[in-house]
Structures are given as structure tokens and as C-alpha cells.
Structure 1
Amino acid sequence: MQEPGIDKVRIKVLSIAGECQACHQVGQEVIVDNVTLSGYVCPHALVSLWPYVLVLQNRGKFPWGDGDSTIIACPDGENLARFEVARLKD
């Protein structure tokens, strides 16, 4: 059962420039349900993504775009992966 006030969030790999050392593939998706991840996300990328995951889990909105998603890059400047972080709608 989903906790009140906590939304599920999807992390999706949009693109990779170079060769991702964590073996992420374009199109890969991971669902975040509270603090449980349905799959693997590179720890370095996850540190960059997590603040945005928390905003969406707690029903916050971003002041850009549709407010329910954003695109974030991992910190690897040589093999840049871009991720979409989006609230899952029921």
C-alpha cells in the first residue's frame, strides 16, 4: 500500500553520450516507491537525481515545464547520461 503523501516516481534514461560505466541503456526505467528502487541506478547519478525524486514524491511541483517531470544529467562529464525524473500518475 502506498503511504499517504508519497507518490511513485519514474527515472528513465533518455540518452547517453559515450559509454556509461554503470551499463545504463537508453530507455531503461526504474520506479522509486518511497525508498525502494525497482532496479539499479548508478550511485553517482542517483545522488544528482535524488533531490528531484524527493520533490515529486512529496507532491511538489517544479516551476518549469509541466511541473511533474524534469531532465537531469549525471555528473560524468565524459560519458554524460541524461535522465528524466517524472511523477507517476495513477
Structure 2
Amino acid sequence: MKVIIRVVSQKGICNTGHKPGDEIIVTENGVEGKICLTALYSILPKAFAVLYDAKFPWIKKGQKPRHACPDSENPVIFELEKVE
């Protein structure tokens, strides 16, 4: 099992260079791909929740969880998807 974290939008200038379509993979054993530490530290709890089938009551059926990078001046929006 793994969670694919995909960049769906980016505005401003991301110092790490994230752009739509970029993917990061999270497994029980680590992280593959390039992601800044600020975004990683903020998204890991949600990634592990998705990995272990947590239910988010505010996400409608068919939607994937999203996560915003904490950099409000240069926001990056990530989408999380669990795959086998």
C-alpha cells in the first residue's frame, strides 16, 4: 500500500519547484520524491491517515483528500490517493 501525493495547483514561486503533476509517494517505510520539509511535516499526518483508511466526514463520496502547503504566499495544493 502507498499514498500518492500529487500537486494539483501551485501559485507564486515555490522554492522547491513544485508544479502541477508532481508526485510524492508515502509508504509505511518512507517517502519517495522531492518535497520541502515544511510541506512534508504538515502533510504526513494526513498521508498516514489515508494510508490506514481514515474517513474524513467533510470529504464527499468520490472526492480525494486535499492538503494545502502552509506557505500562504506561494500556495501549493496537494491531493492524496491511496493505491494498492
Deviation above 4 Å: which 4+ runs of structure 1? none
- Describe the SS at the equivalent of 1:49: helix
**What TM-score do the two structures reach when normalised by structure 1?**
0.81
**What TM-score do the two structures reach when normalised by structure 2?**
0.86
The aligned residue for residue 59 of structure 1 is 53
Q: Give yes or no for the alignment of 1:46 onto 2:40.
A: yes
Could you say which structure has the larger radius of gyration? Answer: 1
- What pairs up with 1:1-90 in 2 under 5 angstroms? 7-63=1-57, 64-66=59-61, 69-88=64-83, 90=84
CA distance in 1, matches of 2:61, 2:6: 17
Aligned length: 83
* Counterpart amino acid of residue 70 in structure 2: P
8 Å Cα contact 1:56/1:68 also seen in 2 = no
Tell me how large the CA RMSD over aligned residues is: 1.7
* Counterpart amino acid of residue 42 in structure 2: S
Aligned-residue offset at 1:68: 7.2
Cα distance change, pair 44–67 in 1 and its aligned pair in 2 (3 A):
farther
